[in-house]
Amino acid sequence: MSTAEIRARFLAHFEAAGHSVVPSASLLLDDPNLLFVNAGMVPFKPYFLGQETPPYDRATSVQKCIRTPDIEEVGKTTRHGTFFEMCGNFSFGDYFKEGAIELAWDLVTKPVADGGWGFAEDKLYPSILDGDDEALHLWKKVTGLPDDRIARLGPKENYWSMGVPGPGGPCSEILIDRGPAYGADGDFSAEDRYLEFWNLVFMQDELSAVRSKEDFDIAGSLPKKNIDTGMGLERVAFLLQGKENMYEIDVMFPVIEKAQELTGRRYGADHGDDVRFRVVADHVRSSMMLIADGVTPGNEARGYVLRRLLRRAVRSMRLLGYEDPCLPELLPVSRDKMGETYTDLHADWDRIARVAFAEEEVFRKTLQAGTQIFDLAATEVKEQQRTVLPGDKAFALHDTYGFPIDLTLEMASEAGLTVDEDGFRQLMAEQRERAKADARAKKGQHADTSVYRGILDANGPTEWLAYETLETESRPLALLKEGAAVSSLANGEIGELVLDRTPFYAESGGQVADAGIIEFDGGRLEVLDVQRPVRGLVVHQVRVVDGELVSTGSATGGAVLHAQVDPEWRTGARQAHSGTHVVHAALREVLGPSALQSGSYNRPGYLRLDFGWLSSLTPEQLHQIELVSNNALRADLPVSWDYMTLSEAKDWGALALFGETYDDQKVRVVEIGGPWSRELCGGTHVDHSSQIGTVVVTGESSVGSGNRRIEALTGVEGFAYLARERDVVAQLSTLLKAQPDDIVGRVSDLVDRLKQSEKEIEKVRLGQLLAAAGDLAAGAADVGGVRVVAHRVDGAGGGDVRTLCLDVRARLVADRPGVVVIIGVQDGKISVVAAVNAAANERGISANALVRAVAPYIDGRGGGKDDVAQGGGSDATRVDEALAAVTAAVAESAG
């Protein structure tokens, strides 16, 4: 049974049982605790935490997931994979244990002809949390299995929590017996023998403290009991396809087959090669899916994970003997298989391929540079007559230069060296522990939204009128300070105010919150920020600027407040947000459809837009983007919006931002000029494009590998920027006594004349320097029969010092030993060059040794060959001592 068929049967089974089919969310969610979605329940987490009200009682999904802690274990075992798909069914206060068990068992054991998976019941073993007698009874009731066919496991295996206070509960797993070849009878700790492929979580407990997976306090029962299940699609696929592991299933093994073709190696012939083939299959697919969801390679967070995956895939192919670019060969194979389900891979292929192939090219250059750095490190080790490359050197190659440890080991062996792997592993472990500590610290970023949830449950959602009006008469629902309810806010204090209705836009979608005031009888509040801590509730951060605000504690009691958005602020915000859409459309028109927005920020009069692109834009491209944008403004394109389902919006061609989450029940689509710009967006906008006023592109820059940023001004701010540039041009016209159109030519002439003058000055200075060479050669001291010039030159840099030193040596009599050491001091930096003629070399005098003799006096270092060497330093206070050291060193060598 194909993987696509397994997925389809899963969704059809639960849809027939009344579940809403929810499309997979992006791998990127706005969650401070997660780099990526790592489980099927993550998009539903706000419902389980009580932060939001679910729009359905029961749901099912096949969710894209990425897990990164065990990247280095991928391929070594058959259980570790980076990208995977998690099939799940979820109940929010609807059915519970019995329903979950019935639905799972039915699908797993139902004959293939009837739409099931057809697993043999005599191979299946349910497991329960030891002591969960209710689950034991229900499994026996639903399946008819005897006690000895139901495994009782401890909390390490069969209790679930998110690692923080909140919901938790016991689990039941469905295990399959793969036979005695994989382990002993009844040994449920032998994961290969009794393989778990579906986990049913019975979310019933409220946890007040979670110290570890097996150490927590249960404060009580949840008010609503929920079901969260997770079934690994790849695991079921290799079981149903009769394969040994996930790497051999129909959507992954074609990549291994292609890798075999390219390398001439054979999968299954050598364990080391098998690991590399699996790494290639996993990492190629994982990288592709990450790029498809908007990740670009970088040195931090998500970008760093993607970079590691791509580089490990390339490195593995190299270790398999293939040194040509491999991703152009392998990535299309994965696209063709995964694209059967994820059709966006085909539509967005140009961008995906460009990002991946460029990263491989960068890594190939990194390998070249890393090889040079390795050679230096290896030479240093050999000079010290050692045979082991230190762990910190290997770690630096890996961490700083992206040089894989496997390559370091391979090259060390070729150089007759070994590597301190224990030291390297220790440094890697310390780095991982720092990352884990950082992740643990971030766990505290789960904001306690219970107080907001209580306000929402008591009063219902805020009547949000930001699209309709700039002012409302509103009643206060709650007054908070530092997360707790307060009775009042005095003059000058800052707190949070919840109203029954509001005209203020809450920050979202890259648009900052509205500014304005809220007036009440006897006082006034300045609105500093507006947020939605839970869906449906709008919270205003306010400062009391006049009077004292007293809480009524009721939505019906107390005075009515007047909420007023600053109209100038809103006008500027609308111009900037609509301008962002216009620039995005212009960008795609100029660069092509693969130039997709990956993030944005806009405030009144200003916008910035991040987009996936691999190279800086030319001035001509920036000019063209600005021209297309302003032509759209001049065309006075109509701006409109409508609501529809997410699938309808995508069918209509609306663009959705990477990493954003959207409600499939209803999304807002904003159009500017019909299909020219059609995006999912909840921001405020102008009514016609001409109301944006102007778009002035002010800059373009890099924000990470494969990501660029355009910045622009709109409205009055854009005109003000142009006015400032006009003033600069006017001032230059006056200074240069030229018309504006002639300024560029006049400045160009001035620059040329300045360069010519600098060349003439350089000729004079060099002539003076060389003239001194004759005097220095004539004044050479005799040290044991060796002519020695040791001289200090102030104001001379490295190039001048070298030129002077070599010129002086050339003026010394060739058949007599001659030594020249020049030390230059310029802007606090010291340059030293030593030059020795052949006759001095025959006397055993080395330029390299002379530079090393000087180095301690100038706090420097250096080296080179026997005839010419150079170095640098930072301490100019002992230059005279350094020069004296030259004479002493020559005397010792000559003696």
- Spatial separation of the C-alpha atoms in residues 638 and 656, rounded to whole Å: 21
C-alpha 575/C-alpha 876 separation (Å) is 59
Place of tokens 């749901």: 59
Q: Would you state the structure tokens that stand for residue 382, as one six-digit string?
A: 């050999």
Q: What is the DSSP annotation of 592-660? A: -TT--EEEEEEETTEEEEEEE-SSPPPHHHHHHHHHHHHHHHHTT-BEEEEEE-HHHHHHTT-B--TT-
Q: Which stretch of DSSP H or E encloses residue 389?
A: strand 388-389
Instruction: Identify the three-state secondary structure at position 198.
Output: strand
State how far the Cα of 22 lies from the Cα of 24, in Å rounded to an integer: 7
For residue 577, say whether it is annotated as part of any ligand binding site: yes
Q: How many CB atoms lie within 10 A of CB 492?
A: 9
State how far the Cα of 104 lies from the Cα of 121, in Å rounded to an integer: 13
- Amino acid found at 661: T
CA distance 422 to 777: 56
Cβ atoms 161, 210 nearer than 8 A: yes
Q: CA-to-CA distance for 328 and 191, rounded, in angstroms?
A: 37
d(CA 243, CA 876): 72
Ligand-binding site membership of 80 (annotated): no
Taking Cα atoms as reference points, which of 554, 500, 494, 498 lies closest to residue 525? 494
DSSP symbol at 94: S
Query: Contact at 8 Å (CB) between 314 and 114?
Result: no
Interacting residues of 350 by C-beta distance below 8 A, sequence separation 6+: 592, 593, 594
- Output the six-digit token pair for 732: 């230059």
The length of the chain is 895
Report how far residue 635's alpha carbon sits from residue 861's, in angstroms, rounded to the nearest whole number: 66
Report whether 833 contacts 870 (CB < 8 A): yes
**How far is residue 433 CA from its own chain's centroid?**
19
Is-contact 502 538, C-beta < 8 A?
A: yes
* Amino acid in position 800: D
Contact assessment for residue 679 and residue 572, using Cβ atoms and an 8 Å cutoff: no
Both tokens assigned to 723: 């006015």
Residue 137 labelled as part of a binding site: no
Question: Could you give the C-alpha distances from 743 to 533, 731, 733, 752, in angstroms and in order?
Answer: 55, 11, 7, 14
Binding-site positions for Zn(2+) read: 577, 581, 681, 685
Positions at the binding site: 577, 581, 681, 685
